[in-house]
Structure 1
Amino acid sequence: MPHGSIIESPKREAQTGTESLRHILVVDDDPMVCMAIEVYLQLNHFRVTIAEGGEVGLRALEHGQFDLMIIDIFMPHMRGFESIRVFHERAPTIPLIAMSGYAFANLNSPAPDFLRMALELGAARCLRKPFTPHALLAAVNDCFAEHRSDDVASAARLG
């Protein structure tokens, strides 16, 4: 996959009804992480768009309709938590799962809790890399369940 590219999972509307599948944007600068997430989500009947890096992810967000975003916290060309903050600001109604593989040299040292900080910046869920396929699917399903209950509550207030 060329660096900085957007890869959308193949459309198979005729066989699977892809147009009704939930569409997930995955943004990470590690192609192996992207590929693993894409394969597992597709196996679980999600449509996936992969963006290698933050700037490419923001372009994808401008041109596509997504039901969920999975965003790496630390990527080149975006300082620290800029990725989470910017993606949440650009699409505040789309649930965001933050992920980080940040490793601490000394687990006993008082280190900042990056995943907690991501939640404060707008992430709905956080995953610490490496995570299991089960943890990924649980986070995705939790986000969709919460988002659906928010929609029902909003509709009830309006109705």
Structure 2
Amino acid sequence: MPFRSLSPEDVISGGTRLVRAGLEGGKSAVAHGKPALERAANLTAQAANWGAQNPASFACAAVGATGALVFVAPGLVSIPLLSSIGFTANGIQAGSAAAAAHSQIGNIVCGSAMAITQSAGAGGSGLVIVNGVTQLGGAAMTVGSAGLAWVKAKL
């Protein structure tokens, strides 16, 4: 297929068609997006009212949902937490809490908690252990909040 050169008029008419299509798509998004946005705002208001009327149940639901999220995606918690303490992908960050602990410990023993967290921070096999412990915490949050909600319902 030979290359056809485009005239300035061809480029302008193509650009005009593209802009018109974008404007039509924008109209469609507004037409369909507004009802969904109104429903979402209404649902949010209903949830806020229920939470204000049932603060203990709302707290249990929030903690339970957070625990479930941590259970499903432990990396959302473990990786930022490890990094904030000073266990980074490049090793222990100078001046961090991890560096202070390392200076107190001295040589790191293989299999110790410090070695595991150092490995986890670098994305090694220690991350499996840290994520497993994080998942246990998420499961405990979910089960504990469900238990408290059940006890509250019985009282």
Same fold (TM over 0.5): no
Query: More relative contact order in 1 or in 2 (CA 8 Å, sep 6+)?
Result: 2
TM-score (norm 1): 0.26
Structure 1 or 2: more strand by fraction? 1
Structure 1 or 2: more helix by fraction? 2
Larger gyration radius, structure 1 or structure 2: 2
